[in-house]
Amino acid sequence: MNKADIVDILEDIAVLLELKGDNPFKIRAYSSGARVLEMMEEDLGDVIAEERLDAIKGIGSALVDKIKTLYATGELEYYTKLRESVAPGLIEMLEIPGLGGKKVKKLHDAIGVESIDALQAACESGEVEALKGFGKKSAEKILSGIANRAAYAKRHHWWNAREVAEPILEGLRSLSQVERAEAAGSLRRLRETVGDLDFIVATAEPKPVMDWFVEQDAVQEVTAHGATKSSVRFESGLQADLRVVPAEQFAFALHHFTGSKEHNVALRQRALARGYSLSEWGLSQKGEEGDPPTEIPDSITTEKELFQFLGLAEIPPELREGLGEIDSAEAQQLPNLVRPADIRGVFHNHTTASDGRATIEEMAAAAEALGWDYLGLADHSKASFQAKGLDDTRVLKQLESIRAFNESGESPVHIFSGIECDILPDGSLDLEDATLNALDYAVMSVHSSFSQSEEEMTARVIRAIEHPATTMLGHPTGRILLRREPYKIDLQKVIDAAIANRVIIEINANPHRLDMDWRLWRRAAGRGLMCAINPDAHSMEGLSYFDAGVNIARKGWLEKEQVLNSRDCIGVQHWFNQRK
């Protein structure tokens, strides 16, 4: 078992012990042991092999054997037994944002709740707010946490959904009976989260295709197994629908089940206005008097032909949200969307200097493998102490290392030296001006005091944007998809300030963030806001998240010119210099 998973288990043990009301010193031993292990720079395998784990400060003797066992076997009886000794309902309650082990135990001891439903009832009846240490506000917070959890549980991050979808699509395409197969729905529209997967297959022999689909190894439950539609559920809770159609209906079915509903409604209206009715089965004449409509061609086999028949340019799936794409397609003014191949480097990434897992050299090698010209490194600043953020001295030391690396000529990838500098609660910056000025660029981000009022947060971020050293604003709402709501902030004012100060806003491409949201980009970029797509990579593999960021840029109607990452090294340097 790898180190990160072991850290998770040690943290779990601490929470479970809290739930049981165990000795606080013992609990702390696990949670701080987890911290120490997480921060350990050496390879865990080496440390274990050389019998040096006991010598590491902060890893107590009770933990040493457990870490070794987990590393060697991936299992730990103590942990399994501990989990079994706690009511599953209590463990589930921990998923409610804001509820930790201590609070759940208090609630359990005081009013005996052992499930989320019971807790919800106790909040609604006023029992929780009457408890010492809780009050009306926390009862309300628990209720909204329960509501969010229910809504979140139904959806999945696009990145994970795609990982499930890809092998299914390959499997379908490899069946001899399958003529065409595509994934449709929100996955194809590149939405940030996906409710369920939708597959469309063209075949003359549905049965073996349906059988294959419901018999896949990963299927946990078959919820429908019909002649034209089947549905299954995987272990993660993600569900998938498969619809099978004859080849001549494929383009219509693919279009219909790609959606969105809003887009479909608009396209159907357009068809009606021209004398046709459009459905997932095909096009037919309405049979009303008036001008006889144009003959329907013998076959429409692609979406492009369908759009053309209705007088439109082909609308890429990611623009099909009913947000004006049909008007643009009619005027032949759809954007020429930025593509993954346009990306020549990314800017917001971490190394082992703060909380990343790879060195400058390793990150550069990963960027080279992606074919990039440059890579921006932006480690955390000191206020992010839990991420080992850098103080001024360490920033300047890293700058020296990056210079030396560039000068060594050992890599074709140019490293831009940056920083992800904390925006402090009052909007001032976490590093000296002289330090920030010495760097190529600076990403400013909020990592603390998330519960400020909207006025405070907006003023805080705008103050940072107005600082002359600011190049980019990082993850502007702090949201974690399906886990943490955005903090309160007036993004329109932030966008105005960014445009006025020529500050870039990033699309944080981490699949759990995708922040700033795609819904805001079209208008903002139209008004002159520059975008940067940043994977916020904490490892070599993390760089590949840039893809998810390109998706969001495309959903936001962005063209290459509106994305700094499409410029070459000189173009980027030029932008940075201009800001200074």
> Considering beta carbons, is residue 185 or 542 the nearer one to Ca ion?
185
> Considering beta carbons, is residue 114 or 280 the nearer one to ligand DGT?
280
Q: In the Cβ-directed half-sphere of 15, how many Cα atoms lie within 13 Å?
A: 19
Under the criterion CB under 6 A, does residue 356 sit at the interface with ligand DGT? no
**Geometric angle at alpha carbon 462, from 460 and 464, rounded to 5°:** 75
> Considering beta carbons, is residue 196 or 420 the nearer one to ligand DGT?
196
Buried b (16+ CB within 10 A) or exposed e, 500-515: eeebbbbbbbbbbbbb
Q: Select the span of 259-267, 304-312, 506-514, 555-563 touching ligand DGT (CB under 6 A).
A: 259-267
> Considering beta carbons, is residue 144 or 260 the nearer one to ligand DGT?
260
Gap between the Cα atoms of 194 and 491, Å rounded? 25
Under the criterion CB under 5 A, does residue 198 sit at the interface with Ca ion? yes
Site string for Ca ion, 239-278 (x = CB under 5 A): --x-------------------------------------
Pairing relation of β-strands 239-245 and 229-234?
A: antiparallel
Tokens 């194809």 appear where? 188
Site for Ca ion in 177-196 (CB under 5 A): 185-186, 196
**One-letter amino acid of 258:** T
> Considering beta carbons, is residue 152 or 575 the nearer one to Ca ion?
152
**76, 113, 122, 186: which one contacts ligand DGT (CB under 6 A)?**
186
Site for ligand DGT in 261-290 (CB under 6 A): 261, 264-265
**33, 185, 418, 478: which one contacts ligand DGT (CB under 6 A)?**
185
Partner whose footprint covers residue 259, from Zn ion, ligand DGT, Ca ion, none (CB < 5 to 8 Å by kind): ligand DGT
Q: In 3-state terms, what secondary structure has residue 406?
A: helix
Q: In the Cβ-directed half-sphere of 177, how many Cα atoms lie within 13 Å?
A: 15
> Considering beta carbons, is residue 417 or 445 the nearer one to Zn ion?
445
CA-nearest of 574, 575, 565 to 374 is 565
What secondary structure, in 3-state letters, does 460-521 show? Answer: HHHHHHHCCCCCEECCCCCCECCCECCCCCCHHHHHHHHHHCCCEEEEECCCCCCECCHHHH
**101, 145, 206, 259: which one contacts ligand DGT (CB under 6 A)?**
259
**406, 445, 470, 565: which one contacts Zn ion (CB under 5 A)?**
445
> Considering beta carbons, is residue 241 or 379 the nearer one to Ca ion?
241
Q: DSSP labels for 92-120?
A: HHTTSTT--HHHHHHHHHHH---SHHHHH
Site string for ligand DGT, 193-232 (x = CB under 6 A): -xxx-x----------------------------------
Beta bridge partners, 144, equal none
Q: What is each CA distance from 110 to 106, 128, 130, in whole angstroms?
A: 6, 9, 11
Residue nearest to ligand DGT (CB): 259
Q: Kindly state the smallest distance separating residue 221's Cβ from Ca ion, in Å.
A: 16
Interface with ligand DGT (CB under 6 A): 185-186, 191, 194-196, 198, 256-257, 259-261, 264-265
Interface with Ca ion (CB under 5 A): 185-186, 196, 198, 241
